[in-house]
Structure 1
Amino acid sequence: MKKVFIMIAVMAALFVPTIVFAGGAKDQNKLYIYNWTYYTPDSVIEKFEKEYGVEVIYDEFASNEDMYAKLKAGGAGYDIVFPSGDYVSIMINQNMLEKIDKSKIPNLKNVDPAVLKKASYDANMDYSVPYYWGAAGIAVNTSKVPNFEKNWSIFARTDLRGRMTMLDDMREVMGDALVSLGYSVNTKDPKQIEAAKNLINNQWKPNLTKFDAEAFGKGYANGDFWVVQGYAEVVYEEIADNEQLKKDTVFFIPPQGGPAYIDSMCILKGSKHQDLAYKFIDFIHRPEIYAEFCDEFGFPCTANKAAGAYKKGESYYTAQELVSTELKDDLGGALDLYNDAWFNSIRVGE
């Protein structure tokens, strides 16, 4: 994977502190997890720790690229990592993951077959267990933007210039542009990728404050941004104490579709705490635990078919809104076309 973005990210990751992993028997009672920001409730972690008498060490990443770069730069020692499907494929091909022993995860019976059918990169769960099927969408502050259409073209609105952000995520933003033009988020056609690049550069980017995958929720919560592309759980976590803004916020996944993801739980090659890793994966797919996870973040129970009976809260969007979305595939060599468009054009000057 001699990609420009990976080389840059790997170099940056060399300067990022990595967990120091102690040895000895004491360390056997610790489970090291590398997961997305805002993605596993503290209550779930605490219940797991209490039930098994262990300590969970939890590190966070903001993008698949950051996660991958840190691991490739020597950020070893983690037991479980949560990549999206395209990166599961990459990591399988690069021998970065342990093969799953399904006999140690009886709750795999609760994983929704419909989600497995979508997970063509590892439909038999040989190396990964689905955690969540979802998609990024758009949050709009209706007190500032009372009239809008529910599609990606909102980012072309010049009247909202300086009040909008999109994710600093190549596949997400370019996928949105491709869908807006009627193309697949996984196209390998150079002309279609060029057209998506031009749409972003000419119509969307001039209206954006920035591309942001980390602080968009905070910026939305403090009123700097009125329209943000991002993840519902991040936005609603940041506005949890602002009742008026919660009432004014509309979050939607555009009906025209866009990139979707299946994030999965994978055991890293060489994990020193595999028994605990299996226990954790099985714990997550207990229906009542999975429902607790979904309730915490306002998710529909997309990956666990039994959890719906235990869900108590409402969801910020519905599983039906995901129907028109498309999973991001591993693009192989065609990823170079996206890297060139993103890093050598769209992100230049940022």
Structure 2
Amino acid sequence: MRKKVETEHGWYRPKGMIADRRGGGIALLLLLAILLINSPAGAAPLADYNNIFFKVANDAGVKYDAFGNDSYNIRFEGYDRGLNALHISTDPAVNFGQVTMTGNQSGTIYATDSGGKGYEDEILLLVGVNGTVPDDFRLHVTADGYTWTPNPERNKAPTSFTYQPVSLDETFTKADLVYGPQTWKPTGNGFSYPIYYGQNISDTTNTFKLMFIDLNAGVLRPNTTLQNQGAVRITYSFENLESSAVFNVYGYCQTSNNGDDMVAWSNSLMPERTPSGYLVNGPSPDQQVLPLSGQQHAPLDIDGDGRYEDLNGNSQFDFSDVILFFNQMDWIAENEPVDAFDFNGNGKIDFGDIVSLFIRL
């Protein structure tokens, strides 16, 4: 009698181990075993919103392997805790950051700190990609910032640190998006905390695949004498992003008043907590929309409906966008993809689109 065979996914019996009287059950069990063996490990939502371990996408694994399992431990203290100190900013001098939506497939952001203890020993980047991810998806990330030996004295910033001009230089692929699909990011606030600002968390069809990236640098309280004022600089470049992607930051601290070896800080995405975040829209299906005449930034699709209501590309939809449309309607009709600005859906760019855009305000 043959023995069971052990695989990395468990035990199964090879063909011949199940009595012939089970007939079609043999083929079914073998098919299930093949599917199990070939299923990608970890391709599932995070196990919980708090008190969980997670892996990073870096080839080298985690920088601080405190638990000996090549993982970090998310351990927020409780509801609405740990959401004040960290921010995402497009300028290190704007310490509390801002909410940014952009069509730029490459750019630079900063992880900044405004917390009472004035540091995080390590910054992690959470990347979420919306919907179906193409096989040739690529994300190249470089980072620079300060490193140090964590202060053994609880809740005390390091007394000496070294600037690393390249703390990370790595390319990530579809295979690195091992968490999800899901609609929430981990905090102490349950399964209802959004991944990006303004997200409808109840829309379970709008899901993201996630990965965590160890940036190999920590953040310090703003100091004009430091490179980037002590922030961690993150430079990204997407290839073949067909939907949208979001960035969030998390902080790890080895010894804090909250506890040891915790990831318990992240950027807020709620209006009452000084929100900051960064969303990148993929190119238009027809063609990449262009900056309007005399404008620096390309228009943005703020709500993801395929219409580009933020005509000046400043990540806000307001009356100035309506005025810009009115002044440049002829230019838009000649140079932009019609579908991106056909707000009344009649297949052409005309005054009715300006009226429809105004009604959206």
Q: TM-score range by the shorter chain?
A: under 0.3
Greater C-alpha Rg: 2
Higher helix share: 1
Higher normalized contact order (CA 8 Å, seq sep 6+, divided by chain length): 1
Higher strand share: 2
TM-score normalised by the chain length of structure 1: 0.22
